[in-house]
Chains A and B, each alone.
Chain A
Amino acid sequence: MNSIILFIVGACAGTLGSLLGLGGGVIIVPALNLFLGVPIHTAIGTSLIGVIATSTGAVGFFLKKGLVDLRLGLTLELTTTLGAITGALVTGSLSPDLLRLIYGLFLLYIVWSMARRPETAKIGPPQKAGGPSKGHARRGRWKNIHFGLFASFFAGILSGLLGVGGGTIKIPAMYLIMGLPLKVATATSTYMIGITALASSTIYEIRGYIDYQIAAVVTLGVLTGSLMGSRLSSRISTKALRWTFIVVLIILSVQLIIKGAAGLR
């Protein structure tokens, strides 16, 4: 397979992921499956490696800025990792067509959540995550932690099932229900998606659903794209980009739903 195309797919996913606060899986999986003919299970397994790359590439910057609530992230990871392992185990028993259909519907959900998001979080100095190392993690410091744990478990299942980061569930849960500032919620979610993807990618590895050749090139593309995205974030209008991305996602989701439904008949 052409390495240059794979690198471009990864770079697009990394750039858009860091600009729009996504893991990049929503770009990698449809691109690999619909346009490059990679089997959907392998595309998902490969995408999970890309999600780890997006997270690890960007989170160092967020941590140094004090935007990641490390203690909350780890607390929510207790249920997210369990959900991710569950999702990855379930995927093996689903047919590729059913998986395509579920993926298409999930993309429509992302379109809906992106369209009603108030503003994409940009990285800046204010709204710190309670101050790094100041104070100890205490029970009850965060609002609705039980709901957060439940939403994280659900996000983990989606991540393991579809090879995405699950930020589209975690960010609204942390921002709207748990009362975290949007920037902190986005940065904490970026930190979490790497750990979540690690948990589910091991299951995909056991089942042989990770193509190392494809994953390596896509990963390098993602890492390059994440760096580009963080540089471009101050120069590009994220609002225009978001709406362009919404249109692309609608086209991809319709294609996946049609292909999945046709195969199920």
Chain B
Amino acid sequence: MNRKKHPCPESFTANILTIGVILSSCILILGIGLPCLGITSSAAFLRIGLWVLMLVPLSGIIASLISFVRLKEVYSALIASSVLLILVAAILTGLFLTRPGP
């Protein structure tokens, strides 16, 4: 019988985290390196790079959730989705609320 093999949550999550870290590092290096090339508008790159980094743990949880659903681990999937909901609420607040300033 040909049964499709799913990756374990740990290795799947690890791969997603590694990709996220590499991506954010590249954007940050670009943001820091641009002023050296005479391009002054690098603030957007820094902001995007840091937000990508901040979203890496979130994508790790989504990867875990996908693996738990595939493996039919109901309890773990419920826990992961609850944590995800709390974080998404916090991130949406952070993204869309105006800054009162320090």
Residues in chain A within 8 A of chain B (CB atoms): 3, 39, 41-42, 49, 52-53, 55-57, 59-61, 63-64, 66, 68, 70-71, 74-75, 77-78, 81-82, 85, 132-133, 136-139, 194-195, 197-199, 201-203, 205-210, 212-213, 215-217, 219-220, 223
B9→A133 contact, CB < 8 A: yes
User: How far does the alpha carbon of A217 sit from the alpha carbon of B31 in the complex, in Å?
Assistant: 10
**What's the minimum C-beta distance from A148 to chain B, rounded to whole angstroms?**
13
Query: Residues of A contacting B46 with CB < 8 Å?
Result: 212-213, 215-216
**What's the minimum C-beta distance from B46 to chain A, rounded to whole angstroms?**
4
A56→B56 contact, CB < 8 A: yes
Residue of B nearest to A217 (CB): B32
Residues in chain B within 8 A of chain A (CB atoms): 8-11, 13-15, 17-18, 20-21, 25, 28-29, 31-32, 43, 46-47, 49-50, 53-58, 60-61, 64, 67, 71, 73, 75-76, 79-80, 82-83, 86-87, 90-91, 93-94, 97, 99-102
Query: Residues of B contacting A215 with CB < 8 Å?
Result: 46, 50
Inter-chain residue pair count (beta carbon < 8 A): 157
**What's the minimum C-beta distance from B55 to chain A, rounded to whole angstroms?**
8
A132→B9 contact, CB < 8 A: yes
User: How far does the alpha carbon of A220 sit from the alpha carbon of B45 in the complex, in Å?
Assistant: 14
Query: Residues of A contacting B15 with CB < 8 Å?
Result: 60
Query: Residues of B contacting A217 with CB < 8 Å?
Result: 32
A202→B53 contact, CB < 8 A: no
**What's the minimum C-beta distance from A201 to chain B, rounded to whole angstroms?**
6
A63→B28 contact, CB < 8 A: no
User: How far does the alpha carbon of A68 sit from the alpha carbon of B11 in the complex, in Å?
Assistant: 11
Given contacts A207-B99, A216-B49, contact A138 B61 (CB under 8 A): no
**What's the minimum C-beta distance from B89 to chain A, rounded to whole angstroms?**
9
A85→B90 contact, CB < 8 A: yes
A198→B14 contact, CB < 8 A: no
User: How far does the alpha carbon of A75 sit from the alpha carbon of B75 in the complex, in Å?
Assistant: 10
User: How far does the alpha carbon of A141 sit from the alpha carbon of B79 in the complex, in Å?
Assistant: 15
B79→A206 contact, CB < 8 A: no
A223→B25 contact, CB < 8 A: yes
User: How far does the alpha carbon of A229 sit from the alpha carbon of B25 in the complex, in Å?
Assistant: 18
**What's the minimum C-beta distance from A221 to chain B, rounded to whole angstroms?**
11
User: How far does the alpha carbon of A202 sit from the alpha carbon of B94 in the complex, in Å?
Assistant: 5
A216→B50 contact, CB < 8 A: yes
User: How far does the alpha carbon of A64 sit from the alpha carbon of B10 in the complex, in Å?
Assistant: 7
- Other A-B contacts than A56-B56, A137-B79, A215-B46, 18 sampled, CB-CB below 8 A, are A56-B53, A60-B14, A64-B10, A64-B11, A71-B76, A78-B79, A194-B56, A195-B83, A198-B91, A206-B93, A207-B101, A207-B102, A210-B50, A212-B46, A216-B50, A220-B28, A220-B32, A223-B21
Residue of B nearest to A202 (CB): B94
B86→A199 contact, CB < 8 A: yes
User: How far does the alpha carbon of A41 sit from the alpha carbon of B75 in the complex, in Å?
Assistant: 38
Given contacts A60-B17, A82-B86, A212-B43, contact A198 B76 (CB under 8 A): no
Residue of A nearest to B81 (CB): A74
